[in-house]
């Protein structure tokens, strides 16, 4: 009994001390409107449950927060999150707070110091180095790959047309993976025809463990997670994906060095280069591990996002037949019955399609939450933090 009382007393004392040291934070939090929070847990309970319940909860919480103020708050256990929907405030935050939120750290074991999770100083340096490789003219070099993989997608969808209901997103994701892999590292993976290679299975498994950790608070501390079978599964699968990219990097480095040895000018603008070749050839002096981290980050960032936008756009075109007719007629005018691949000039003529894609991204944003840590006072339009 004495032990229980002592533990209880110790915890209470620590809690009072903890609250006292954060007095200013609590006073500030009290000045902000809030919705649906519980004592101690705050809003954590909104983020529990399976994917569907979770999505419903997040949507409802965001709608409520949006209604009660431009700047509101969420408490996740002891962490205070300031929530804003105002574009001006978001710009101020993104310009002033470069450190990513704690939740991004679950990607770190996989992506190391890739752009998503790199510490701020390294991020600044690498971001500057990598910026030129995302230039429009480099993306344009890959329009024929978009066309080639798009044609395979159309064939695969044609097989399903008129049959039973099916999930189009799986098909789109495979196509996007083929495009991203070829553009990022020059690898023709053919995920559209062979989706279940050990590498693809490992990648899927790592992603599902990371998303699971995000929404299961008891799985978040490493000390607890490392005791579970998921941790072992994650380590094995991360090793498989790292090994794959490492091999591609080594192969590519050897190729680049061989070509340089043969006095091939790697900085000419004539031959198309994948992102890995550009990272290797632009004298950036990135080592193999850094290259792997950037290439893995790019293939992950570039796949789900684009696949979701295309899937949502197809869904909306299905819901709004008149808009679908406009897009269909636009494409019919451009291609005039030909099955040739699109060119850059064709893309410039796809005005209706562009509008549909932009409206899709506005209505169904694929990255709905962006989290940053404050490291200094930040003045938002209405408040001082
Ligand atoms: C419709 C498609 C896309 C959308 C909506 C999108 C959206 C975003 C957003 C919102 C972020 C910031 C996330 C954060 O900081 O919390 C981001 C970061 C990033 N995206 Fe995309 N993205 C898309 C496509 C792509 C593609 C195709 C690639 C590469 C081929 C890519 C590579 C990256 C990288 C490397 C970062 C990290 C940048 C950094 O932190 O400096 N994204 N993206």
Whether residue 265 is predicted with pLDDT greater than 80 in this model: the reply is no
Could you tell me if 64 and 141 lie in one domain? no
Q: Round to whole Å and give the CA distance between 176 and 200.
A: 13
At 25-50, the pLDDT tens digits run 888 898 888 887 888 888 888 888 88
* Per-residue pLDDT at 344: 94
Tell which wins on pLDDT, 20 or 141. 141
* Per-residue pLDDT at 372: 96
Q: Round to whole Å and give the CA distance between 208 and 168.
A: 20
Whether residue 59 is predicted with pLDDT greater than 70 in this model: the reply is yes
Could you tell me if 196 and 136 lie in one domain? yes
Whether residue 54 is predicted with pLDDT greater than 60 in this model: the reply is yes
Domain count, the chain: 2
At 119-174, the pLDDT tens digits run 999 999 999 989 888 888 888 899 999 999 999 999 999 999 999 999 999 999 99
Tell me the pLDDT band of 69, cut-offs 50, 70 and 90: confident
Task: Find the 360 Cα to ligand 1 centroid distance in Å.
Answer: 17
Could you tell me if 18 and 131 lie in one domain? no
**pTM, two decimal places:** 0.89
Task: Find the 301 Cα to ligand 1 centroid distance in Å.
Answer: 5
* Per-residue pLDDT at 270: 66
Whether residue 77 is predicted with pLDDT greater than 60 in this model: the reply is yes
Q: Which of 148, 158, 153 is nearest to 169 (CA)?
A: 153
Considering all CA atoms of the chain, what is the largest pairwise distance in Å, rounded to the nearest integer? 86
Task: Find the 111 Cα to ligand 1 centroid distance in Å.
Answer: 14
What residues are paired with 82 via a beta bridge? 73
Whether residue 266 is predicted with pLDDT greater than 90 in this model: the reply is no
Q: What is the CATH classification number for the domain harbouring 185?
A: 1.10.630.10
Whether 356 contacts 327, CB under 8 Å: yes
Encoding tokens for residue 340?
């040739």
Q: How far is CA 212 from CA 47, 85, 111, 191, 361, in A?
A: 11, 26, 17, 24, 25
Ligand 1 site residues (CB inside 6 A) read 115-116, 127, 180, 297-298, 301-302, 305-306, 309, 366-367, 370
Residue ranges making up the domain that contains 25: 2-99
* Per-residue pLDDT at 36: 79
Say if 106 falls within a structural domain: no
Q: Round to whole Å and give the CA distance between 306 and 314.
A: 12
Q: Which of 268, 262, 306 is nearest to 141 (CA)?
A: 268
For residue 128, with 0-12 CB atoms within 10 Å meaning exposed, 13-18 middle and 19 or more buried, which class applies? exposed
Could you tell me if 323 and 212 lie in one domain? yes
Could you tell me if 93 and 156 lie in one domain? no
Task: Find the 163 Cα to ligand 1 centroid distance in Å.
Answer: 35
Could you tell me if 86 and 140 lie in one domain? no
Task: Find the 302 Cα to ligand 1 centroid distance in Å.
Answer: 7
- The radius of gyration of the chain from alpha carbons, rounded to an integer in Å, stands at 24
* Residue of the CA atom closest to atom 21 of ligand 1: 301
Could you tell me if 53 and 135 lie in one domain? no
Could you tell me if 85 and 169 lie in one domain? no
* Residue of the CA atom closest to atom 15 of ligand 1: 370
Tell which wins on pLDDT, 5 or 225. 225
Q: How far is CA 159 from CA 1, 164, 179, 217, in A?
A: 71, 11, 21, 43
Compute the C-alpha angle 124/128/130, nearest 5°.
Answer: 115
At 326-364, the pLDDT tens digits run 999 999 999 998 999 999 999 999 999 999 999 999 999
Whether 178 contacts 191, CB under 8 Å: yes
* Residue of the CA atom closest to atom 39 of ligand 1: 115
């Amino acid at each position: 009994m004495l032990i229980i009382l002592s533990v209880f007393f110790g915890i209470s004392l620590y809690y009072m001390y903890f609250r006292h040291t954060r007095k200013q934070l609590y006073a500030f939090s009290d000045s902000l409107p809030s919705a649906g929070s519980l004592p101690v847990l705050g809003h954590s309970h909104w983020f529990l449950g399976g994917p569907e319940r979770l999505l419903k909860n997040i949507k409802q919480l965001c709608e409520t927060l949006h209604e009660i103020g431009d700047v509101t708050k969420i408490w996740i256990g002891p962490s205070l999150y300031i929530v804003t929907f105002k574009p001006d405030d978001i710009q101020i935050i993104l310009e002033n707070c470069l450190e990513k939120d704690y939740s991004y750290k679950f990607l770190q074991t996989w992506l190391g110091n890739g752009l998503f999770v790199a510490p701020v100083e390294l991020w600044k340096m690498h971001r500057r180095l990598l910026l030129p490789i995302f230039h429009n003219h480099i993306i344009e070099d890959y329009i024929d790959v978009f066309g080639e993989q798009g044609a395979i997608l159309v064939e695969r969808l044609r097989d399903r047309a008129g049959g039973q209901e099916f999930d189009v997103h799986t098909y789109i994701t495979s196509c996007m993976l083929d495009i991203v892999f070829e553009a990022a590292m020059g690898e023709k993976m053919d995920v559209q025809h062979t989706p279940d290679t050990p590498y693809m299975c490992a990648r899927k498994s790592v992603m599902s463990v990371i998303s699971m950790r995000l929404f299961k608070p008891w799985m978040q501390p490493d000390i607890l997670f490392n005791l579970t079978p998921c941790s072992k599964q994650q380590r094995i699968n991360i090793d498989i994906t790292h090994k794959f990219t490492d091999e591609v990097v080594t192969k590519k480095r050897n190729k680049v060095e061989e070509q340089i040895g043969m006095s091939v000018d790697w900085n000419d603008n004539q031959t198309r280069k994948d992102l890995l070749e550009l990272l290797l050839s632009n004298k950036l002096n990135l080592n193999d591990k850094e290259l792997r981290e950037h290439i893995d980050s790019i293939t992950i960032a570039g796949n789900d996002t684009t696949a979701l936008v295309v899937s949502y756009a197809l869904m909306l075109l299905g819901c709004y037949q008149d808009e679908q007719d406009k897009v269909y007629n636009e494409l019919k005018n451009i291609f005039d019955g030909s099955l040739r691949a699109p060119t850059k000039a064709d893309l410039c003529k796809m005005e209706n399609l562009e509008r549909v894609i932009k409206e899709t991204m506005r209505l169904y944003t694929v990255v709905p939450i962006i989290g940053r840590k404050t490291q200094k006072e930040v003045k938002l339009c209405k408040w001082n933090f």
